[in-house]
Structure 1
Amino acid sequence: MTLLHRASSRPATAAAAEGYDTRLTLPLALGSLLNPINSSMIAVALVPIGIAFGAPAAQTVWLVTALYLVTAVAQPVVGRVVDLVGPRRPYLVGTALVGVAGLLGAFAPTLGLLVLARALLGLGTCAAYPAAMSLVRRATDRSGEGRGTAAVLTVLAVTNQVVMIVGPTLGGLLVGLGGWRTLFLVNVPLAVACLVLGGLRLPRVPGTTDLTVADGAARPSVAARLDVAGVALFAAALTSLMLVLVGATPWWVLAVTVVTGAGFARHELRTAHPFIDLRLLAGNRPLLLTYARALLTATATYAFMFGYVQWLEQGRGLGEAAAGLLMLPTSVVAVTVASATGRRAPVRAALLVGAASLLVGAAVLAVVQPGSPTWVLVVAGVGIGGMQGLSGLANQKALAQQADSASVGAAAGLLRTFMYVGALVSTAAIAALYADGPTTTGLHDLALAMIGCAVAAGVLTLADRSLRRRPAAPTSPPAPTSGENPR
């Protein structure tokens, strides 16, 4: 029998007891944008960083890969910590680490230290999103209808999904104004703002994962509930897989993935306190479909963000600032669509229209030429922006409905893991298709892969029957009132 979980017993404030506390929106949104903005800004800086250090593209790509590797592995781990100890401490520690990493990157004298700074950024940005999803789910469980949660999910979607598109534009402007080191230095004021707002507004609440134990039995420690062995096996399997995906190791390393992956599954099915409850996950088909859609849309998004921007700079001959500005229509469309549809659009309809929008944008990229009119490039960007504004928020809303309330932090972290696996798949595809540089032929092949992602995402949406019905009322046990003894 798998673990039984209970929600935490008391809300942090009177406002929170009635539903979602809107004072949390600013720190949660600001903290959540740290990851996507650092993921995307670097796209326009790879070429100038390579020139500065005399490094080829095969080395500068580690600035992208390092952040993805660390984030993909650490995200569900940090999400689990949020479930265990509550959202406040992981949020504050993570954002402090972002500030340290920003300073290290701003003054790094070597490419190696710059890669280390990117890895630390990946680790530091892992806490804010699961912390936000944990607080949103708490509000939903308390109020029944989750008053205010649709609005905050819309804000999170804008800051998490759309910022990935805004990033290249902002990055191009920052590089043009102060050089590529400003992309790291900008993290310092952002981290300070998160620390101040988080310290003032985030509630001091316990974790939501509370194991059921017999009367008089000792409650397992946080370390025991974290399942260190499971985390280690998960990290080994995922890291070896990602190193294979980016072509950094021989293909025999895939055997390490198979062995450690099998060991992870065996351990998780046998341990009393699993890091990821595979039985519950396997039985939650809608959540698995949401993860698969997130992987597909992330693969297409990052293929566009990195592959398309490189083609603009070298295939079309644009500078970093001009390439960033050409991404602006994508940003505007994504923000507009997410803001206009976030609160009311049904999840299924949003996912289907998002897949269709990706299909249109990718189809345009499949025929674009270096001399194509600017408006053709804008049409492609508008299609990708529509997908970003619709699909990102819809998958996020689906997860909020489908995940178990006691482990929503880990579930949200795992969603990010699937997204960054998609990012690394796109990185591997770009490396293979751009073997001779970012040519137009390579861009066309990349666009065909994006079309495949759009079709697959649409099929998975149609296959998810849970999206056809209205979300049920929360199934988590009600929070015990004062004086009750939770068991």
Structure 2
Amino acid sequence: MTAVAETSTPQASVPLKLSLALGSGTVLQALNSSMIAVAIVPIATYFGSSSGTAWVISALYIATAVTAPAAGRLGSILGAKRVYLAGLGLIAAGSILGSLAPSLGWLIAARILLGIGTATQYPNAMTVIREYADRHRAQTRSAIATLTICAQSVVALGPTLGGLLVGTLGWQSIMWVNLPFVVVTAVWVFFAAPSDSALPDRAGAAALFKSLDPLGITLFLALTTSTMLFLLSLAEHAKWYLVPSTALFAFLFVWWERRTTSAFIDVRAIARNRALSMTLGRTLLTYTAFYCIFFGLPQWLQVARGMSPISAGLFMLPVAAVGIFATMSASRVYGKFGARITLLIGTAALAVGGILIAFVESSSTPLVALLLIAAILGIPNGFNNMGNQNLINSVTTSADVGTAIGLYRTIQYIGANLAAVVIELTMRGTIDDAGLHRTGGTIAVIGIALLVGVVFSRTLRSR
């Protein structure tokens, strides 16, 4: 993953029809990871028990975290368009299985299929865009902004859409609603995206399998699964016995990836590429704070403010709306001033939002003030996403950008599970104003730490 950048002045942008087509598929990951939040109670009622329902949420996160880098790597070998379309097929299969699931176990299996399918979209969309830009000397900022809006900013729309679907059509509706998206996206991408190169012949099949680094993928699967299982356990009864196994898998994974000639994730290159490693570390903290907001606020609104799930979902609309506007604004700021200024705005807004939650927001706060705070919380979503994702695009080659973005998505969902732990620890079993203030304080500390890091970062200053 050698550092490269757009060194010449591009003559055009990636066509909007291409980025919109690719972005339409990335919407599915955002919606499926967030609509489920309002469906858990009806699912538990339908199957007669709440035991195991947490895995309905976690199964998708784990599957996505593990699959995203592998999907990016597979796309660079077999063709990003092919892998993107194959992922849509898995989403359709998972949606049908989930809507007809006879038991909770089958529903969890369907969510795993959904996680694998949705994990293929974003890394391979980035690869298609980067390859197009390299061939046509086009700039990628506007295309990345489109993908960011589709893949991340619409997350906040999930609870609203999910609440409406579950309230009117039952929990199964959040599964089959994927099918029209799949059909439209598949047709759109098939005609809008450039064709991939020819598949390897039989003689190259063995070399292809070896280049995928199956042992590296297996060790990465074991490491990611063990890590996420441990993080999930912290919210209830910590499974400390997973720590030694996680450390062992981490050692074996790094050892093998440094040793093999066809590494799944080139850990040596990441270590050498300081800009990439710093961006991935910053992403972990950023998403931990983001999901503290995304998971914490709706729960507090329902319990402490007495809102219905639909009302709480509607309350998140300002986060989404401002996030979309902030993403478009951040694209222009990045193009004019670069990553450092973009991230300064994003991290400063995150710190301010955390401070407002910690010291202003309470059960007696007027609704208008709450909506204003929600709007402010949409600013860091757009600016931090655009700053970090453009950085990853500029410091990796077109062959490696899919894997790097896959890692970005993996870290995003590790951050989501860290946020669940943070919320559990700060709320201390009771969702009230005091717990919300502690959560807000944690968000503020993360925002301030990120802000200081951006201010004093030599890597960002040099860029």
Please give the TM-score of this superposition, normalised by the length of structure 1. 0.86
Q: Distance in 1 between matches of 2:330 and 2:65?
A: 29
SS at the partner of 2:119?
coil
Preserved contact between residue 298 and residue 419 of structure 1 (Cα < 8 Å): yes
Superposition deviation, residue 19 in structure 1: 7.0
Q: Distance in 2 between matches of 1:170 and 1:199?
A: 27
Q: Distance in 2 between matches of 1:365 and 1:104?
A: 40
Counterpart pick for 1:133 among 126, 138, 163: 126
1:479 maps to none
SS at the partner of 2:365?
coil
Superposition deviation, residue 151 in structure 1: 1.5
Superposition deviation, residue 54 in structure 1: 4.0
| Residues 1:311 and 1:19: Cα distance change in structure 2 (over 3 Å) | closer
1:200 maps to 191
Superposition deviation, residue 125 in structure 1: 0.5
1:384 maps to 377
Preserved contact between residue 174 and residue 182 of structure 1 (Cα < 8 Å): yes
2:218 maps to 232
* Post-superposition CA distance 1:55-77 (Å, at most 9, x none): 34x73322221111111111101
Q: Distance in 2 between matches of 1:320 and 1:19?
A: 41
Q: Distance in 1 between matches of 2:352 and 2:442?
A: 13
| Residues 1:132 and 1:464: Cα distance change in structure 2 (over 3 Å) | farther
Pick which of 280-289 and 450-459 moved more. 450-459
Alignment of structure 1 residues 307-326 onto 2, 5 Å: 307-326=296-315
Q: Distance in 2 between matches of 1:141 and 1:277?
A: 22
Superposition deviation, residue 307 in structure 1: 1.7
Asked if residue 447 in structure 1 is aligned to residue 447 in structure 2, the reply is no
| Residues 1:188 and 1:249: Cα distance change in structure 2 (over 3 Å) | farther
1:352 maps to 344
Q: Distance in 1 between matches of 2:352 and 2:419?
A: 19
Asked if residue 55 in structure 1 is aligned to residue 43 in structure 2, the reply is no
| Residues 1:181 and 1:188: Cα distance change in structure 2 (over 3 Å) | same
2:8 maps to none
Preserved contact between residue 33 and residue 159 of structure 1 (Cα < 8 Å): yes
2:7 maps to none
Counterpart pick for 1:411 among 385, 404, 407: 404
Alignment of structure 1 residues 63-212 onto 2, 5 Å: 63-144=56-137, 146-147=138-139, 149-206=140-197
Q: Distance in 2 between matches of 1:109 and 1:219?
A: 39
SS at the partner of 1:360?
helix
1:364 maps to 356
Superposition deviation, residue 154 in structure 1: 1.2
Superposition deviation, residue 233 in structure 1: 0.7
| Residues 1:98 and 1:339: Cα distance change in structure 2 (over 3 Å) | same
Alignment of structure 1 residues 264-343 onto 2, 5 Å: 264-343=253-332
1:46 maps to 40
- Please give the root-mean-square deviation of Cα atoms over the aligned residues, in Å: 2.6
Preserved contact between residue 76 and residue 410 of structure 1 (Cα < 8 Å): yes
Counterpart residue identity of residue 185, structure 1? W
SS at the partner of 2:134?
helix
| Residues 1:132 and 1:444: Cα distance change in structure 2 (over 3 Å) | same
Please give the TM-score of this superposition, normalised by the length of structure 2. 0.90
* Post-superposition CA distance 1:172-215 (Å, at most 9, x none): 2222332322211211111111221122222222399x9xxxxx
* Post-superposition CA distance 1:257-285 (Å, at most 9, x none): 11111011111111111111111110011
1:460 maps to 453
Superposition deviation, residue 5 in structure 1: 13
Q: Distance in 2 between matches of 1:284 and 1:4?
A: 7
Preserved contact between residue 19 and residue 139 of structure 1 (Cα < 8 Å): no
SS at the partner of 2:52?
helix
Superposition deviation, residue 429 in structure 1: 2.2
Counterpart residue identity of residue 258, structure 2? L
Preserved contact between residue 358 and residue 384 of structure 1 (Cα < 8 Å): yes
Asked if residue 253 in structure 1 is aligned to residue 242 in structure 2, the reply is yes
Q: Distance in 2 between matches of 1:232 and 1:130?
A: 19
Counterpart pick for 2:209 among 223, 232, 237: 223
Counterpart residue identity of residue 196, structure 1? V
| Residues 1:326 and 1:20: Cα distance change in structure 2 (over 3 Å) | closer
Counterpart residue identity of residue 221, structure 1? A
Q: Distance in 2 between matches of 1:114 and 1:306?
A: 22
Pick which of 433-442 and 58-67 moved more. 433-442
Counterpart residue identity of residue 261, structure 1? A
Question: Unmatched 5+ residue regions in structure 2?
Answer: 5-10
Q: Distance in 1 between matches of 2:14 and 2:383?
A: 23
SS at the partner of 1:342?
helix
Q: Distance in 2 between matches of 1:379 and 1:455?
A: 21
Preserved contact between residue 82 and residue 131 of structure 1 (Cα < 8 Å): yes
Q: Distance in 1 between matches of 2:3 and 2:312?
A: 49
Q: Distance in 2 between matches of 1:463 and 1:186?
A: 46
Q: Distance in 1 between matches of 2:352 and 2:48?
A: 39
Superposition deviation, residue 434 in structure 1: 4.2
Superposition deviation, residue 4 in structure 1: 9.7
Q: Distance in 2 between matches of 1:466 and 1:152?
A: 25
Identity across the alignment (%)? 37
Counterpart residue identity of residue 175, structure 2? F
Question: Unmatched 5+ residue regions in structure 1?
Answer: 7-16, 211-216, 471-487
Preserved contact between residue 82 and residue 90 of structure 1 (Cα < 8 Å): yes
Q: Distance in 2 between matches of 1:52 and 1:155?
A: 38
